[in-house]
């Protein structure tokens, strides 16, 4: 009788090939960090060339996020039908095409449409890379694997900013998009070489020659091959956007799905408020423009360590409990942040710590979400949660600006968004006792599951 290959991966040590697959996912997530900031760094040059006002530039800044939301919501369900790896490859092609064409765009409208196209590809990549990072990690290191993947965002944002400044100074804003397109194109062979198809997808969907494909993955990860496919009690069912939403909102998954959608919306709204507005609000609170930009940079630098630290903690304690602590700590630090402006060193240290914890909150949600869904709908579940989060990301900077215009002070805004993180922590406590399908249970019957966190 065949052994339980999923259980072997879940309970055994991590093979180097598993870590390679996780590393490829980190590189893919760096593309997200670069893509989000590419428009921010090139915005002034683009505005000058096309003669844009503030509102028009704002639409360009939001276009990429709109595309990412659409990609996460619309493309992710197809990963549960055709596979994580094929959708990543297609999404990389879409994203690279959008970036390369953006480098030769002839108008702001054309650039905006290409930003949506690029975001569409990035959204598909994000949903699949976070899913596959979770599926190829053992139970002990799953939180760290997904958190490291999320660290790629901060790395991409930080390195991308440095690269953008150099390229704009030497070659103009179009070179930044050209660089991004070529970098995305080079990621395709990395996926082909370093990222096998998801074992959970192969076990749940049973494509043609599934046993041969599963055994190739097993040998690659140093595991004994299967003699036969394990039994399943339910078929794979229909997939696609509409069918995926019906499954996520069905009786078995509805409660967990709605809680995760709420958490993603709130956390991404808070995250993009902090990262988008902090440099400006620091200046309004009394710092110089240079000091405000330094504070914003420290947010990204802190984020590199925050996601990794959360993953290390989650290897020892419950991921959900670690995430709740991160959320509450973020809220407290936002409430106290502007009080530290009397000392420049304290303000910069506070900015770095906020970056550490707020990035850790996002990483924790990315790590927690795959545990709520079984292999047949995991990419759909992760993708829709990310898509809902992107809606919060699109709305929060605009809401913050509207509140400032209405007379709110920076301190009021930080208090309000601190409350957002407290509400998220409260929502996640409702998952306690939630029956969830873990990556370890992907080959089990659809109803078999264990308690997440």
Let me know if 1 is exposed, middle or buried by CB neighbors in 10 A (0-12, 13-18, 19+).
exposed
Query: What pLDDT is recorded for position 442?
Result: 35
Nearest to 130 by CA among 307, 275, 356, 282: 307
Separation CA 96–CA 31 (nearest Å): 10
Alpha-carbon distances, residue 216 vs 8, 132, 188, 362 (angstroms) = 15, 17, 21, 34
Q: Which of 130, 152, 137, 123 is nearest to 20 (CA)?
A: 137
For 316-358, how does the pLDDT look when each residue is reduced to its tens digit (9 = 90+)? 788 888 899 999 999 998 888 767 666 667 767 777 788 888 8
Determine which helix (DSSP H) or strand (DSSP E) holds 412, and give its type and residue range: helix 410-429
Residue-wise burial string across 143-175, b where 16 or more C-beta atoms lie within 10 A, e elsewhere = bbbbbbbbbbbbbbbbebbebbeebbeeeebbb
Listed as ranges, residues in the chain with pLDDT below 70 are: 1-3, 36, 54-55, 231-245, 276-297, 299-300, 338, 340-344, 347, 375-376, 432-453
Neighbours of 208 (CB within 10 A): 6
Closest CA to 141 of 301, 303, 319, 306: 319
Q: What is the pLDDT of residue 222?
A: 73
State residue 443's pLDDT score.
Answer: 34
* Alpha-carbon distances, residue 391 vs 245, 334, 419 (angstroms): 17, 22, 19
Place of tokens 């596959």: 132
Residue written as tokens 């309000």?
Answer: 416
Homologous superfamily assigned to 5-200+242-440: MFS general substrate transporter like domains (1.20.1250.20)
Q: In the prediction, which pLDDT does 434 show?
A: 41
What CA–CA distances, in Å, run from 430 to 281, 386, 408?
A: 34, 20, 32
């Amino acid at each position: 009788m065949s052994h339980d290959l999923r259980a072997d991966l879940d309970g055994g040590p991590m093979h180097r090939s598993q870590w390679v697959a996780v590393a490829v996912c980190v590189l893919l997530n760096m593309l997200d960090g670069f893509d989000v900031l590419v428009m921010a760094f090139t915005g002034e040059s683009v505005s000058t060339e096309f003669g844009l006002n503030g509102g028009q530039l704002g639409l360009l800044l939001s276009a990429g996020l709109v595309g990412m939301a659409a990609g996460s919501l619309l493309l992710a369900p197809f990963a549960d039908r055709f596979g994580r790896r094929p959708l990543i490859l297609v999404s990389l092609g879409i994203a690279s095409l959008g970036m390369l064409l953006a480098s030769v765009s002839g108008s702001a409208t054309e650039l905006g449409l290409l930003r949506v196209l690029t975001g569409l590809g990035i959204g598909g990549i994000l949903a699949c890379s976070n899913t596959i990072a979770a599926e190829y990690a053992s139970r002990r290191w799953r939180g760290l694997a997904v958190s490291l993947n999320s660290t790629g965002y901060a790395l991409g944002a930080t390195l991308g900013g440095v690269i953008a400044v150099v390229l704009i100074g030497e070659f103009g804003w179009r070179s930044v998009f050209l660089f991004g397109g070529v970098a995305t194109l080079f990621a395709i062979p990395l996926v082909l070489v370093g990222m096998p198809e998801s074992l959970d997808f192969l076990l749940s969907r049973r494509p043609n020659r599934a046993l041969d494909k599963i055994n190739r993955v097993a040998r690659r990860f140093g595991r004994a091959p299967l003699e036969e496919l394990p039994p399943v009690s339910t078929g794979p069912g229909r997939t696609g956007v509409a069918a995926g939403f019906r499954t996520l909102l069905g009786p078995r998954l509805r409660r967990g799905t709605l809680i995760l959608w709420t958490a993603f919306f709130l956390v991404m709204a808070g995250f993009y408020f902090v990262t988008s507005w902090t440099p400006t609000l620091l200046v309004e609170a009394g710092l110089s423009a240079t000091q405000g930009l330094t504070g914003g940079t420290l947010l990204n630098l802190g984020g590199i360590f925050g996601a990794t630290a959360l993953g290390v903690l989650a290897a020892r304690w419950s991921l959900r409990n670690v995430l709740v602590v991160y959320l509450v700590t973020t809220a407290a630090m936002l409430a106290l942040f502007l009080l530290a402006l009397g000392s420049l060193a304290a303000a910069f240290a506070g900015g770095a710590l906020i970056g550490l914890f707020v990035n850790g909150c996002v990483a924790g949600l990315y790590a927690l979400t795959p545990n709520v869904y079984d292999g047949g709908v995991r990419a759909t579940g992760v993708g829709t949660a990310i898509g809902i989060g992107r809606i919060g990301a699109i709305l929060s900077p605009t809401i913050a600006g509207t509140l400032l215009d209405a007379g709110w002070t920076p301190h009021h805004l930080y208090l309000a968004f601190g409350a957002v993180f407290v509400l998220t922590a409260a929502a996640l406590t409702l998952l306690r006792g939630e029956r969830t399908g873990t990556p370890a249970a992907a080959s089990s019957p659809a109803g078999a599951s264990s308690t997440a966190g």
